[in-house]
Amino acid sequence: MQVFDSLMVGLASATQLPILMYCLLGVFLGTFVGVLPGIGPLAAISLLLPITYHMEPTAAIVLLAGIYYGSEYGGSTASILLNLPGTAANAITCLDGHPMAKQGRAGVALFMTTIASLVGGVVGVLMLIFFAPSIVQLGLEFGPSEYFALLLLGVVGASMLVSGSPAKGLAMVVIGLILGTVGIDPSSGVPRFDFGFAALLDGISLLVVAMGLFGIAEIIKNISAERDKVSEKITLRSMTPTKNDFQDSSMPMVRGACVGSFLGALPGTGAAIASFAAYAVEKKCAKDPSKFGKGAIQGLTAPEAANNAACQAAFIPTLTLGIPGSATMAVMIGALILHGIQPGPLLMINEPSLFWGLVVSFFIGNIFLVVLNIPLIGIWVSTLNISSKLLYPAILIFIMIGLYSVKNSTFDLYMVTIIGFCGYAMVILRFEAAPLLLGFVLGPMMEENLRRALLLSRGDLSTFVDGPISAGLISLSGAIVIWSIVRFLRNSFTKGAKKFSYMT
Amino acid sequence: MVKIDVRDAIGGFFLIILGTSVSLYSMKYGIGQLQNMGAGYFPFILGIMLAILGAFVFLPALFREGTPIEIDYRNMVSVLLSIIVFAVLLDYFGLVLTTIITTLISTIPGNLSWKRKIFLGGSIAFITTIIFVLALGMTIPVWPWSK
C-alpha cells in the first residue's frame, strides 16, 4: 500500500538521532509552555522561529510541531491543580478537573487527561494519514476561485466561532487583512501603507504581530499577578485510576477525539473550539448531566482528547493545502516559508521525507509526552510554583532578543511595542486577537487569488459559485455567518441565561 | 455608573475611524476595476467593511450597559518602556548591561527588592548570553566595548 511505503520513508527520516532529539526538545518545551498559564504555544513557536533558521527544515518543523501538540498535554496541569488554564483550550478542563483535585483525585485527573491526550493525538494523526493523500489530489485541481473560497471559509470560521459578537470577530479579521496589505503589492509593485519606512516594504513581520498580540499583551496582563502555589504532592500511586474511571472515560475519549479531529481539520477552528464542542457533546450524551462541573471524569477526558486531536488534525489543511488549520498553524506556515518550503498540495509530493517524517514524529512525540507527563509530572508541578514576577521579565527579554536577532535591527522592537500596546488595548476592550492573526497571514493569499480569479473571469463574480467546490465552500461560509448571527441575537435576548461560560 | 457599554463603544468607534481612514488613504494607490484590481482596491473594500462592522459594534453599545474598564497602567508602561529602552540601549551598552537595566524597569510592577531585581537581571543576562550568543552563535554585542 502506498501509505505504508510513505510511512516507511517517514520512519527512516524521523528516527535519525538529531530529529529524535529535536522532537523530544520540542515536546518538552511544549509541555513547559503549556503548563505555564499565560504564555501559550503560539508565543513559544513565534519565539523559537528565528532560532530555527540555522536548522534543517525537517528538524525545525518537527521541533515547532512538538511544541504545539506538547502544549496541549501540559495545559491541563495548571487547569486541574490551580483552576487556571494553561492554554485557551484548557479552559474547559478547569470545570471538572479542578473539582476532582479538590476531591483529592488530582493525580487520577492528571493521569486520565494524559491518556485522553494520547488517544486524541493518535486519532488525529491517523486522520491525517488517511485523508491527506486524497485531499492533496483534490487540492491539485484547485483554481484561484476554490482557494479564495477555502480561505474565506477559514477566515469566517475563525472570526465567527469565537465567543462574543460576530461583528467584533469579523472586524478583527478585517484588521488582520488590512495589516497584511502593508508592504509592496506583489501584483502591481506599488508600496502600500509604508509611510516612508524602508523596513515596512517587506510588510510587517509575522513574528512582530504574533509576539505583540499574544506575548507582550499577556506579559502586561500578568507581570504583577501572583499565582497560588500548589501544595499537594502528586505521587505515582495517587495517579492510578480505578477500573470505573477507565470504563467511564473510554467512550468520552473516543467521542472527543472524533469531534476534535473534525473541527481541527476545518481551517480556522482550533483546539479551543474543539474542546468546548466536545464538552457540549459529552454533556448531551451523559446519563447524569448534573454531575458535570463537579468532577465528572467524562467532562475532563472528552475535551482533553478533543484538543489534542484538533492539534494534530490542524496539520491536515496546513500541510495538504497550505491553509492554516488554526492561528498557530498560520505561524507554522510562516516557518515553512522561512525554510524555503512552499506549503500547498505539492508539499507532500516534493518533500515526502519532510511530510511523512513529520507525521511519524507525531507518533513518537506523543509517546515521549506520555512519559513526560506521567512519571515526570513532578517537574511540572514545581514549575507551576515559579513566581510570575521572575518568569515574565525573563520571557520579555527572550522575546526582545528573538525579535532583534532576525534582522539585527531594532525596528522590529519598536513595532512590537506598538503592536503590544494594541494587543493590550484589545484585551481590555475584549476583542479577540486570534482572528486578527489569521487574517494577517491569509490576507495576501486571499487578495492574490481574488485578483487572479477575477482576472480570469474578466470581472465576473459568478466565477466563485460556478465550480462545485467553491460554491460549496462559499455556501458553508455563508451558513456559518448566518448561524453565528442568529446565535448571537438569540443569546442577547435571553437575559442572563448562560449555558456554560466561555473563557472571556 | 455610565449607562453604555464603554468597551464596545470605544472599540466600535475606533473601528469606524480606522476603517474610513484606510479606505480614504488607499484611494491614492489607484482603485482600478473589478476585473483589473488596482493596488488600492482590496484595502479600500476592507476599510469600508471595517467601518460598517464598527458601526454594528458601536451603535448597540450605546444602548447597553457594560462593565467598567480596568487598565493596569503601571504594568503597561513598565513593559512597553522596557522594550523601548532595550531597543535604544542594546547597540551601545551591549547585551548584559541592557538586560539588567531593562529588567529593572520591567520588574517595577512586581515590587521586588533592589537586590533581587539586579540578581534577576544578571541571571537572565547570563542565561541569554549562553543560549543566544554562545550556543546559537548570534552576533549580538555583549559588552559596551564589543562590536
Residue pLDDT, tens place only, A397-434: 888 888 887 778 888 899 999 999 999 999 888 888 88
DSSP H/E element including A101: helix A91-102
Q: Are A66 and A22 in contact (CB under 8 A)?
A: yes
- Dump strand ranges (E) for A289-402: none
| Alpha-carbon distance values, A464 to A451, A478, B29, B94 (Å) | 12, 13, 26, 55
| A57-61, A129-133, A458-462, range with the lowest pLDDT | A458-462
- The pLDDT of residue A230 is 66
Which residues, listed in sequence order, are joined to residue A184 by a DSSP beta bridge?
A191
Instruction: Please give the average per-residue pLDDT across A216-228, as a whole number.
Output: 76
Instruction: Name the pLDDT band for A237 (thresholds 50, 70, 90).
Output: low
Residues A23, A450: Cα–Cα separation, whole Å: 38
User: Which of B74, B75, B132 is opposite residue A401, by nearest beta carbon?
Assistant: B132
Instruction: Please give the average per-residue pLDDT across A325-354, as a whole number.
Output: 82
User: Which of A398, A401, A417 is opposite residue B80, by nearest beta carbon?
Assistant: A417
Task: Locate the chain A residue with the closest alpha carbon to B100.
Answer: A397
Which residues, listed in sequence order, are joined to residue B33 by a DSSP beta bridge?
B36
Instruction: Please give the average per-residue pLDDT across B130-136, as a whole number.
Output: 77
Q: Do B128 and A216 touch (CB under 8 A)?
A: no
Residues of A in contact with B138 (CB under 8 A): 401, 405
Task: Locate the chain A residue with the closest alpha carbon to B86.
Answer: A400
Q: What is the dihedral of CA A246, A95, A380, B104, to 10 degrees?
A: 170
Residues A167, A174: Cα–Cα separation, whole Å: 10
From B145's Cα to the closest Cα of chain A, the distance in A is 18
Task: Locate the chain A residue with the closest alpha carbon to B27.
Answer: A192
DSSP B107: T
Residues A263, A272: Cα–Cα separation, whole Å: 10
User: Which of A181, A224, A414 is opposite residue B42, by nearest beta carbon?
Assistant: A181
Instruction: Name the pLDDT band for A166 (thresholds 50, 70, 90).
Output: confident
What one-letter code names the amino acid at A483?
Answer: W
Which residues, listed in sequence order, are joined to residue A192 by a DSSP beta bridge?
A183
Q: Do B72 and A447 touch (CB under 8 A)?
A: no
From B94's Cα to the closest Cα of chain A, the distance in A is 12
State yes or no: pLDDT of A146 exceeds 90: no
Half-sphere exposure of A41 (CA within 13 A, CB side): 35
Q: Are A73 and A79 in contact (CB under 8 A)?
A: no
Instruction: Name the pLDDT band for A392 (thresholds 50, 70, 90).
Output: confident
What percent of chain A clears pLDDT 70, i.e. is strictly above it? 94
Instruction: Please give the average per-residue pLDDT across B35-64, as a whole number.
Output: 88
pLDDT digits (tens, 9 = 90+) for A255-293: 889 988 888 887 777 787 788 888 888 888 877 777 777
Question: How far is the first Cα of chain A from the last one, in angstroms, to the nearest whole number?
Answer: 48
Write the CB contacts of A285 (distance below 8 Å, at least 6 apart in sequence).
A251, A255
Q: Do A223 and B109 touch (CB under 8 A)?
A: yes
Four-residue CA torsion sign, B16, A167, A501, A221: negative
pLDDT digits (tens, 9 = 90+) for A15-31: 888 888 899 999 988 88
| A37-51, A118-132, A192-206, A483-497, range with the lowest pLDDT | A483-497
Four-residue CA torsion sign, A501, B1, B2, B6: negative
* Nearest of B96, B98, B95 to residue B139 by alpha carbon: B95
Q: Do A394 and B127 touch (CB under 8 A)?
A: yes
- The pLDDT of residue A194 is 84
From B106's Cα to the closest Cα of chain A, the distance in A is 6
User: Which of A219, A394, A416 is opposite residue B124, by nearest beta carbon?
Assistant: A394
Write the CB contacts of A226 (distance below 8 Å, at least 6 apart in sequence).
A387, A388, A389
Residue predicted with more confidence, A117 or A502: A117
From B144's Cα to the closest Cα of chain A, the distance in A is 16
Q: Do A219 and B79 touch (CB under 8 A)?
A: yes
From A134's Cα to the closest Cα of chain B, the distance in A is 33
Instruction: Please give the average per-residue pLDDT across A206-219, as a whole number.
Output: 83
User: Which of B42, B90, B103 is opposite residue A447, by nearest beta carbon?
Assistant: B42
Instruction: Please give the average per-residue pLDDT across B50-62, as a whole number.
Output: 90
Residue predicted with more confidence, A155 or A236: A155
Q: Do B102 and A220 touch (CB under 8 A)?
A: no
Residues of A in contact with B34 (CB under 8 A): 454, 459, 461
- The pLDDT of residue A175 is 94
State yes or no: pLDDT of A500 exceeds 50: no
Residues of B in contact with A224 (CB under 8 A): 72, 74-75, 109-111
State yes or no: pLDDT of A368 exceeds 60: yes
DSSP A228: P
Which residues, listed in sequence order, are joined to residue B37 by a DSSP beta bridge?
B32
Q: Do A165 and B57 touch (CB under 8 A)?
A: yes
pLDDT digits (tens, 9 = 90+) for A44-93: 888 788 778 778 888 888 999 999 888 888 888 878 887 777 777 787 88
DSSP A230: P
- The pLDDT of residue B138 is 73
Q: How much is the ipTM here?
A: 0.89
Four-residue CA torsion sign, A12, A16, A20, A26: negative
Q: Are A234 and A110 in contact (CB under 8 A)?
A: yes
What is the interface size between A and B, counted as CB pairs within 8 Å? 174
Q: Which of B20, B56, B64, B76 to mutate to test the interface with A (most CBs of A within 10 A)?
A: B76
- The pLDDT of residue A504 is 33
- The pLDDT of residue A494 is 66
Residues A384, B97: Cα–Cα separation, whole Å: 29
Taking only residues 204 to 233 of chain A, the set having a beta carbon closer than 8 angstroms to any beta carbon of chain B reads: 216, 219-221, 223-224
Residues of B in contact with A391 (CB under 8 A): none
Supply the mean pLDDT for chain B: 85
State yes or no: pLDDT of A503 exceeds 50: no
Residues of A in contact with B15 (CB under 8 A): 171, 175
State yes or no: pLDDT of B22 exceeds 90: yes
Half-sphere exposure of A219 (CA within 13 A, CB side): 30
Residue predicted with more confidence, A63 or A381: A63
The torsion angles phi and psi of B64, rounded to 5 degrees, stand at -130, 145
State yes or no: pLDDT of A228 exceeds 80: no
DSSP B33: E
DSSP H/E element including A184: strand A183-184
From A344's Cα to the closest Cα of chain B, the distance in A is 24
